[in-house]
Each structure stands twice: as structure tokens, then as C-alpha cells.
Amino acid sequence: MSAKFVTREKPKVDRVACPWLIRKFIDPAAELLFVPADQVMATAEREGALPYDVSGVELGHYEGSSSFESFIRVYKLTDPALLELAKIVRAADTQDRDAAPEGEGVRQIANGWHLLDWSLEKRLEFGFGVYDCLYAACQERVSKKETVS
């Protein structure tokens, strides 16, 4: 049986990055639930889903990090390109804006789809494409570093 994950509706940076990570590296068949903020914990309990990117949960912001980084830590993901991507998500979604130069661009793109009030499906489709592109760039960056060392 596939896992279920639940978070707040109208996702921006972290709440699109985490589903991308779940589908690509944790459980491709996971059920992703998006509900009003005040219903996340009740939905998690009722559905047996893991809550993320909400206050006070294991898969939330931890010591200044993003929820994306919490997934990486909890699921023990070690892909060097993912660790590079995590810096971009951190810069886009937390106060640590200097973590990666791409962060501000990602922040503005996500703010744009929020201002345009895109549907959940459009946010995820577009956002997954953005994270696929960033991951590919991170893979290239990592491979260049490995070649130089």
C-alpha cells in the first residue's frame, strides 16, 4: 500500500518541492492530499497520512531548514544532486536566502503561480517541471565537481 501525505492547500515552494521529491525518490504512487491549513492534522489522523510543511511535525521546517530538507533527513536520501537542490529550496522557502543564488528566482516563480491563483494540478505540473530542470542542473553541477576532484 502506498503512503499518504497531507499538507496545506495552495502550495508554493516547499509544498510543491516535497511532492516532487516524494514521487521521484520516496513513493511514486503516494497519495498527496492538500487541505485547508486548519484541517491538516485532522486529515492526517483520519486518513493515516503523514503531515508535512506545517508547524510542529517531523516533516516540517527544522532548525531553519525547509521541509524538503526534513524529507531528505528522515528518508536518509544521499544523492549529491538532491543535496544541491535542497540548498535552492532552502533559499527559496526560508530566511536563508543566501543558501543558493537560484532561490530568489524559484521564490518569485512560485509567488507568480500563487498570484495567478493556478489550480493545484497546474501548480504541480508546472512546479514538477521546474524541479526536474533544477535537479538536472544540480546533477550536472555535481558531476563537474566530481570530475575536477
Q: Can you give the pLDDT at residue 147?
A: 79
Q: Can you give the pLDDT at residue 145?
A: 84
Tell me the whole-structure pTM to 2 decimals: 0.94
pLDDT class for 102, splitting at 50, 70, 90? very high
Burial 89-118 (b: 16+ CB within 10 A, else e): bbbbbbeeeebbebbeebbebbeebeeeeb
Q: What is the pLDDT of residues 9-19, one digit of tens each?
A: 999 999 999 99
Q: What is the number of domains present in the chain?
A: 1
Q: Can you give the pLDDT at residue 149?
A: 62
Q: In terms of residue numbers, what domain contains 123?
A: 4-148
> Counting Cβ atoms within 10 Å, is residue 19 exposed (0-12), middle (13-18) or buried (19+)?
buried
The answer, yes or no, to whether residue 24 has pLDDT greater than 90, is: yes
